[in-house]
Amino acid sequence: MMEILLILAHPDQSSLNHAIAMAVRQALEHEGHRVIFHDLYLEAFDPILPVREIPRDGLLDPVIARHCSELIRVDGIIIVHPNWWGQPPAILTGWIDRVIRPGVAYRFVGDDSGEGVPEGLLKARTALVINTSNTREERENQVFGDPLERIWRDCVFGLCGVHEFHRSIFRIVVTSTPEQRATWIKEACDLAVRIF
Ligand SMILES: Cc1cc2nc3c(=O)[nH]c(=O)nc-3n(C[C@H](O)[C@H](O)[C@H](O)COP(=O)(O)O)c2cc1C
């Protein structure tokens, strides 16, 4: 049994993203894992980092303190979100700002002023990011450079020492059939069950 954190960032409860997150949650629970699930929009997560939370020993809002205590102890992390402007939705960027904190997710070794070498502090060794998009793969890679890959693999999980990184991109959503979406949902579940 593993404890897995599942974060969903999509405002529409009838979206493909929502369907993927719910199915992945169910599949993992079916395997006997414990899933800690957060639907950031449904919970009205406040993405704005207050000044007082910036210092490493800053005073945390209780909601953020809870998110941090979950993040640090789970065995695996799954993030589900659409590609919006080559970035995560702002609510999720704010979750990164507030929850992936120094002293919780990473620390700087050698120089505590923030210029040392980052060292990961999370227990989780494995992360899965599931994205949806309306852009063809060649165009995403050649024109935009797939920024979400860098953001999650290197800037976030790599820095925090979560080196077993998996990512699924389902596209093109806007022209997809219900059958295609069902196949994607199953693929997401199969991958989550396989890696956790
Ligand atoms: C604000 C906004 C920005 C978007 N930016 C992009 C983008 O940069 N690239 C892209 O491929 N799709 C973009 N899209 C399309 C979404 O990725 C697409 O609607 C979503 O992946 C479909 O999944 P869903 O049915 O779960 O919403 C954008 C959509 C919105 C609402």
Tell me the pLDDT tens digit for each residue of 171-180: 999 999 999 9
Q: Could you give the C-alpha distances from 182 to 6, 78, 157, 187, in angstroms and in order? A: 20, 19, 29, 9
Q: Report the pLDDT value the prediction gives residue 114, as an integer from 0 to 100.
A: 62
Atom of ligand 1 nearest to the CA of 83: 17
Distance from Cα 134 to the centre of ligand 1, integer Å = 6
From 16, 81, 83, the mutation candidate for ligand 1 (largest count of ligand atoms within 8 A of CB) is 83
Distance from Cα 74 to the centre of ligand 1, integer Å = 29
pTM above 0.95, yes or no: yes
From 13, 84, 135, the mutation candidate for ligand 1 (largest count of ligand atoms within 8 A of CB) is 84
Exposed e or buried b per residue across 131-143, where buried means at least 16 C-beta atoms within 10 angstroms of its C-beta: bbbebeeeebeee
From 133, 136, 181, the mutation candidate for ligand 1 (largest count of ligand atoms within 8 A of CB) is 133
Query: Which residue's alpha carbon is nearest to atom 6 within ligand 1?
Result: 84
pLDDT at 112 over 80: no
Task: Note the pLDDT tens digit of each residue in 152-165.
Answer: 999 999 999 999 99
Q: Where are the alpha helices (DSSP H) in 117-168?
A: 137-139, 147-149
Which secondary structure element, helix H or strand E, spans residue 95, and what is its range? helix 90-99
Q: Is 82 in the pocket of ligand 1 (CB under 6 A)?
A: yes
Query: Which residue's alpha carbon is nearest to atom 3 within ligand 1?
Result: 84
Q: Are 88 and 40 in contact (CB under 8 A)?
A: no
Distance from Cα 163 to the centre of ligand 1, integer Å = 27
Distance from Cα 44 to the centre of ligand 1, integer Å = 20
Residue 16 neighbours by CB under 8 Å, 6+ apart = 132, 170, 173, 176, 181, 184, 185
Distance from Cα 110 to the centre of ligand 1, integer Å = 41
Q: Is 177 helix (H, G, I), strand (E, B) or coil?
A: coil
Distance from Cα 84 to the centre of ligand 1, integer Å = 5
Q: Report the pLDDT value the prediction gives residue 49, as an integer from 0 to 100.
A: 98
Task: Note the pLDDT tens digit of each residue in 57-110.
Answer: 999 999 999 999 999 999 999 999 999 999 999 999 999 999 999 999 999 887
> Under CATH, which architecture does the 3-195 domain have?
3-Layer(aba) Sandwich (3.40)
